Amino acid sequence: MHLIPIPAFSDNYIWALHDGQRALVVDPGEANGVARWLEQQGLRLDTILITHHHADHTGGVAELREATGARVIGPIVEPMPEPLQRVGEGETVEVLGLRFDVIEVPGHTAGHIAYYTPDMDGTPLLFCGDTLFSGGCGRLFEGTPAQMLNSLTRLAALPAATRVCCTHEYTLSNLKFAQAVEPGNADLLAYIERCKAQRAQNFPTLPSSIGLEKHINPFLRTREPAVVRSALAHEPGTTDDEVAVFATLREWKNVFK
Ligand SMILES: [Zn+2]
Ligand SMILES: [Zn+2]
């Protein structure tokens, strides 16, 4: 099985999996790049997975479905390009011989879902849309800090080796913020250097892994003393409660330059 990020727009990745014949794509915000890739590789599009309703994740779905007849799978409660199969918490979907668990991760949007397979060629794999980014997390457009924290906590509980396929190349700007929160985090410093080298050659910084994110992503580290201290220093009126720390970090990041 092969895992490929197809670049789209300025910083999206449309993640694709294929077995040499059939392909799966996740969140195709546009159709052209995917169609070109399918043709170059001689692949048939089998399935489209959608994590949430934003246009940069769904804009190419109708065109690709029409051109290829691919099956479309997406979340239960979001406006979606019909027709599609809607799936929710606890359901599984079989694609290209892989079994994906559906995990509901509200916060960025109200009905956002993630797709997790425990075994893709021996390693777990997660498609998490705009919920978890490397070094960061999605903005709270439709959910509360408590919801998003709960969603991220569930993803952080997946095996450390889980490859994390995020939809945006936001890593370097996220890490700038992470460094402001945790200037003394040595793992973070090393990771920043690695990501800068990757981007200098125009390579993706993704996929990340759950194990790595737990060491460098402040939004997964809201119980770390250094992170709590930074949040309290930034917003002195709040408490060290995990949700309050998370809310402070998220608002701080929204205005961070
Ligand atoms: Zn989004
Ligand atoms: Zn997006």
User: Catalytic site residue 52?
Assistant: yes
Instruction: Extract the tokens encoding 237.
Output: 């009126």
10-50 pLDDT per residue, tens: 999 999 999 999 999 999 999 999 999 999 999 999 999 99
56-110 pLDDT per residue, tens: 999 999 999 999 999 999 999 899 999 999 999 999 999 999 999 999 999 999 9
Q: How far is the CA of 28 from the centre of ligand 1 (A)?
A: 12
- Taking CA 94 as the corner, what is the angle to CA 63 and CA 51, rounded to the nearest 5 degrees? 50
Ligand nearest to the Cα of 107, by number: 1
Ligand nearest to the Cα of 139, by number: 1
Q: How far is the CA of 131 from the centre of ligand 2 (A)?
A: 9
Instruction: Extract the tokens encoding 174.
Output: 């996220």
DSSP string, the chain: -EEEEEEETTTEEEEEEE-SSEEEEE--S-SHHHHHHHHHHT-EEEEEE-----HHHHTTHHHHHHHH--EEEEESSS---SS-EEE-TT-EEEETTEEEEEEE--SSSTT-EEEEEEEETTEEEEEEETTEETTEE---SSS-HHHHHHHHHHHHTS-TT-EEEESB--HHHHHHHHHHH-TT-HHHHHHHHHHHHHHHTT-----EEHHHHHHH-GGG-TTSHHHHHHHHHHSTTS-S-HHHHHHHHHHHHHH--
Nearest to 133, CA basis, from 234, 236, 190, 213: 213
User: Catalytic site residue 130?
Assistant: yes
Q: How far is the CA of 229 from the centre of ligand 2 (A)?
A: 30
Return the half-sphere exposure (C-beta side, CA atoms, 13 A cut-off) of residue 144: 5
Is 76 buried (19+), middle (13-18) or exposed (0-12) by CB count in 10 A?
A: middle
Ligand nearest to the Cα of 109, by number: 1
User: Looking at residue 78, what is its pLDDT?
Assistant: 95
CA distance 142 to 62: 24
Amino acid at 7: P
| pTM of the entire predicted model | 0.98
Amino acid at 141: F
| Cα 61 versus chain centre, distance | 18
Q: How far is the CA of 83 from the centre of ligand 1 (A)?
A: 21
169-215 pLDDT per residue, tens: 999 999 999 999 999 999 999 999 999 999 999 999 999 999 999 99
Annotated catalytic residue, options 18, 53, 112, 168: 168
Q: How far is the CA of 73 from the centre of ligand 2 (A)?
A: 17
Ligand nearest to the Cα of 138, by number: 1
User: Catalytic site residue 108?
Assistant: yes
User: Looking at residue 6, what is its pLDDT?
Assistant: 98
Q: How far is the CA of 54 from the centre of ligand 1 (A)?
A: 5
Q: How far is the CA of 184 from the centre of ligand 1 (A)?
A: 31
Tell me the mean pLDDT in the region 146-174: 98
Asked if residue 154 lies in contact with residue 118, where contact means CB atoms within 8 angstroms, the answer is no
User: Catalytic site residue 112?
Assistant: no
User: Catalytic site residue 54?
Assistant: yes
Nearest to 100, CA basis, from 123, 78, 88, 118: 118
